[in-house]
Amino acid sequence: MQTVAITGATGLLGSTLMFELAARGFLPVALKSDVREAQALKDEVATVVPTWVVHTAAMTNVAECEKNPDAARAINGEGTVHVIDAARAVGARVIYISTASVFKGDKGDYTEEDQPEPTNVYNQTKVEGESAALRYERAMVLRLNLVGIHPNGSRGRNFLEWLVDTIGANKDLTLFNDQRVNALSNWTIARLIVQCIKRDIHESVLHIGTSDVVSKAGFAKLVLAHCPEYRGVVSEMSVDSIGDGAVRPKEMWLNTDKASRLFGPMPTAAEEVELILSKARAKVDKV
């Protein structure tokens, strides 16, 4: 039984991965050390002695990163250095969870060979994390866009959770129609990570995402198609209207040809919405 250590194990992806790994015969271990505490993290990993470390912990709120760049760099940049150092000390493989938004976002269809051009503090610190991972020959950078609802229920902390909570309250929606993504659910991403581990995939950088590309507004409409009782008003606007000083890339979609060759066809956005909502309904039915 392989031991897989996970940073950020209580978050959306980390908690899903804990469940998926256990269901498929692995021993997942939630790392409790703060990634900013290098020695504590190194000591904990040395005790666990994992075969793999999946690094999901990050400061992801774009506006907060812009306001607190030192904190963002300490977690996303230097924290990743600490994770890599701890993994290297025990010879563990590493999967570093990065983001499609490391690119400028002016064209989309980014391949693994395209060079990142970060446009804000969050994106820059994720590039710093990528650089740390790529200096370790046993690490892989996994770029993606993540959407989903936490396995323990919505916490209102991401786009999908905000969306379903707003729909459930019949409040009006304002959606971005010029930011396009090929986002995957937490469940599909966790499944693909398990496949990477099980098959011992060796790629320095890998892009995963849906087979089609939709705007944030388009993704929301796929969710709304499952919510016939919704009575709120839906309006659309540009992501530039946020006006918090952070420049957000618009064409945030990845070329997934390599992933399709490795794992087979990627799902569609509509299939991912159905998966997310079916998991959420199953959670409610158990309560």
CB atoms < 10 A from the CB of 194, how many?
19
* Lowest-confidence pick of 22-31, 52-61, 210-219, 237-246: 237-246
pLDDT (tens digit per residue) in 81-95 = 999 999 999 999 999
Name the pLDDT band for 97 (thresholds 50, 70, 90). Answer: very high
pLDDT at position 281: 84
Annotated active-site residue in 96, 110, 122, 136: 122
Instruction: Assess whether 110 carries a catalytic annotation.
Output: no
pLDDT at position 283: 63
**What kind of architecture, by CATH, is found in domain 3-217+237-286?**
3-Layer(aba) Sandwich (3.40)
Burial class (CB in 10 A: 0-12, 13-18, 19+), 32: exposed
pLDDT (tens digit per residue) in 98-149 = 999 999 999 999 999 999 999 999 999 999 999 999 999 999 999 999 999 9
pLDDT at position 287: 34
Token couple for 269: 């956005």
Strands (E), 75-232: 93-97, 139-143, 146-147, 173-176, 180-181, 184-185, 205-207, 214-215
pLDDT (tens digit per residue) in 13-38 = 999 999 999 999 999 999 999 999 99
Name the pLDDT band for 243 (thresholds 50, 70, 90). Answer: confident
CB 34 within 8 A of CB 84: no
**In the predicted structure, residue 275 carries a pLDDT above the cut 70:** yes
pLDDT at position 180: 96
Residue 267 to residue 212: CA distance in whole angstroms: 8
Q: Across all residues in the chain, what is the average pLDDT? A: 95
Domain boundary assignment for the chain:
3-217+237-286
